[in-house]
Amino acid sequence: MSEQLPPVSAPAPATAPAGAAPASNSVGLGIASLVLGILSLCGSVSLICGGLLGVIGIVLGALGLNSKGRGMAIAGMILSALGLILAIIFRVVFRGILFNNLLPQFLHNYGF
């Protein structure tokens, strides 16, 4: 009554299917868009910083819509758009203040 049992071997390592992309790459565009959206809001006082980061954040968010990080991509696009809009508003307001108040006073004070 002694039965021979087959030898026990280690299980085969689990591998991802050949066509599957790694999870870190599929969420990366959403994360990048979200980070750039936050930085765009913080830098919206400057058109160069807020505007440029806002445009790049919107583009990365649009590219990341078809990934696992869709929610972060949408949030990044919204924050980037808000940062871009605020940068444009700040630019218009500061330019109006500069050219309507400060520049004429400067020219008048220095005889131009």
**Residue-wise pLDDT tens digits, 29-78:** 999 999 999 999 998 887 778 889 999 999 999 999 988 889 999 999 99
70 with 103: CB under 8 angstroms? no
Residue 17 belongs to some domain of the structure: no
- Predicted local distance difference test score (pLDDT) of residue 9: 72
Q: What does the angle CA 7 – CA 12 – CA 15 come to, to the nearest 5 degrees?
A: 175
Residue 95 belongs to some domain of the structure: yes
pLDDT, mean over the chain: 81
Phi and psi of 4, rounded to 5°?
A: -90, 120
- Mean of pLDDT values over 66-93: 91
Residue 13 belongs to some domain of the structure: no
User: Nearest Cα to 49, choosing from 19, 24, 80, 20?
Assistant: 80
Residue 25 belongs to some domain of the structure: no
**Crossing angle for the helix pair 23-42 and 70-97, to the nearest 10 degrees:** 20
pTM: 0.66
Residue 47 belongs to some domain of the structure: yes
At residue 92, what is the residue type?
V
Residue 20 belongs to some domain of the structure: no
User: Nearest Cα to 68, choosing from 32, 29, 38, 19?
Assistant: 29
Residue 7 belongs to some domain of the structure: no
Q: How many domains does the chain have?
A: 1
CB atoms within 10 A of CB 37: 29
Residue 92 belongs to what domain range? 31-109
Helix (H, G, I), strand (E, B) or coil at 80: helix
